[in-house]
Homo-oligomer: A and B are copies of this chain.
């Protein structure tokens, strides 16, 4: 069978499965998720064996130890995957929620009710635990999903997909509700991205290269963010101790993720008070500073910032620092360089806080809190399948509700249009 007919068969089976899933109750979906969790524990040995094969090949091909870490599964990661499945099962079912209902002057009762999106194509890199995470969220929201993971994780993903399929079958759900594409060829992704008759949305998760490839080749709508160039602006009216805590957390706690701070903007009136100790704290934590001229005056050993540093997503212990004249200059800087992902202000001035919240056009805008809170779990969505910085459908972190759409239902009593 050709690659193309294989992918087409999978998307058709996915569409069939999505029709069946529309009728499945919450109990049915939760049972499949809980059974998957049990199976992950029971099948630990087999899963780790397959993962071992992925790891051996990756080592042979010279994969870096950081990437090997991401690829590796062990008893503890399996345990936390199982726990995550239990958490998704415990979340309310978004499907069937009536988000509003009203009466028209002619007596029509009009409501909106959440329904699944249909079939989701999920394209990702490295971590095999994402396979189970993403599949569980798609299933809980009533969607069929077709998963294409990184080639280095193929054997791990396949056995996880097999276990998910068994749990579906044993709980009476269609096995094609969750399908892992069984090849490492990138051409498979390209073909998947053309199946707009069957697939309703594509969600890619990974580096900017993967995301660009997906958006460039997709005929299907894509929910994605390219990068997170997140800013914290320390205002002249900031509590400087709070500002230091927030900035340190935003940069250092997990520098390799999209919601970490990449550029710190500091009001010139507090630069001399705030920056020297802040920059020392960063230096002690191994953070490389790339500063504007005013920053360099306060920390001569810092590197001068290049123009390319302002729009950069370092994903590393590197920070661009700029001293600004005030809120307006900070807003201009953000307007120019922001990736519309996450921006924060630290201030105790009411008016500046409100202006920042209103004027910054990013998916998450915070006052006096770390950028690291741009996350579905942290913001209270219960879960997260990814973050979208295109403005359509969902802007920001996407939870279960964002994996649904809404149809209108109308209760009439014989109304016609005149």
Contacts and interface: CB of A to CB of B under 8 A. Distances in A.
Interface stretch (A39-47, A295-303, A408-416): A408-416
A395 B407 contact: yes
A370 interface: yes
Nearest to A371: B417
A253 B117 CA distance: 33
B369 A245 contact: no
Contacts of A397: 408
Given A110-B379, A367-B410, A246 B416 contact: yes
Given A110-B379, A246-B416, A249-B417, A408 B363 contact: yes
A399 to B, nearest CB: 12
Contacts of A379: 104, 108, 110, 408, 410
Interface in A361-397: 361-370, 372-374, 378-380, 390-393, 395-397
Nearest to A241: B414
B410 A366 contact: yes
B362 A414 contact: no
A378 B416 CA distance: 11
Contact of A200 (B246, B253, B392): B392
A391 B253 contact: no
A153 B201 CA distance: 36
A118 interface: yes
A408 B392 contact: no
Contacts of A363: 407-408
Interface in A186-206: 200-201
Contacts of A416: 245-246, 249-250, 253, 369-370, 372
Interface string A142-160: 0000000000000000000
Interface residues on A, range: 35 or more
A168 to B, nearest CB: 21
A74 interface: no
Nearest to A408: B364
Q: Kindly report how many copies of this chain are found in the complex they form together.
A: 2
A22 interface: yes
A115 interface: yes
Contacts of A392: 117, 200-201, 221, 223, 392-393, 405
Given A365-B408, A390-B221, A409-B365, A414 B115 contact: no
Given A102-B380, A118-B391, A380-B102, A368 B414 contact: yes
A359 to B, nearest CB: 7
Contact of A373 (B367, B380, B413, B417): B417
Nearest to A372: B417
A368 B412 contact: yes
Given A22-B361, A115-B361, A380-B102, A408 B391 contact: no
A60 to B, nearest CB: 37
A251 to B, nearest CB: 11
Contacts of A22: 359, 361
A397 to B, nearest CB: 8
Contact of A221 (B221, B253, B370): B221
A400 to B, nearest CB: 15
A23 interface: yes
Interface in A179-231: 200-201, 221, 223
Interface of A: 19, 22-23, 102, 104, 108, 110, 115, 117-118, 200-201, 221, 223, 239, 242, 245-246, 249-250, 253, 335, 353, 357, 359, 361-370, 372-374, 378-380, 390-393, 395-397, 405-418
10 contacts: A102-B380, A201-B392, A242-B414, A353-B411, A361-B407, A363-B408, A364-B409, A368-B412, A379-B410, A396-B407
Closest 8 CB pairs of A and B: A369-B412, A249-B416, A366-B410, A372-B417, A368-B412, A393-B393, A391-B405, A242-B414
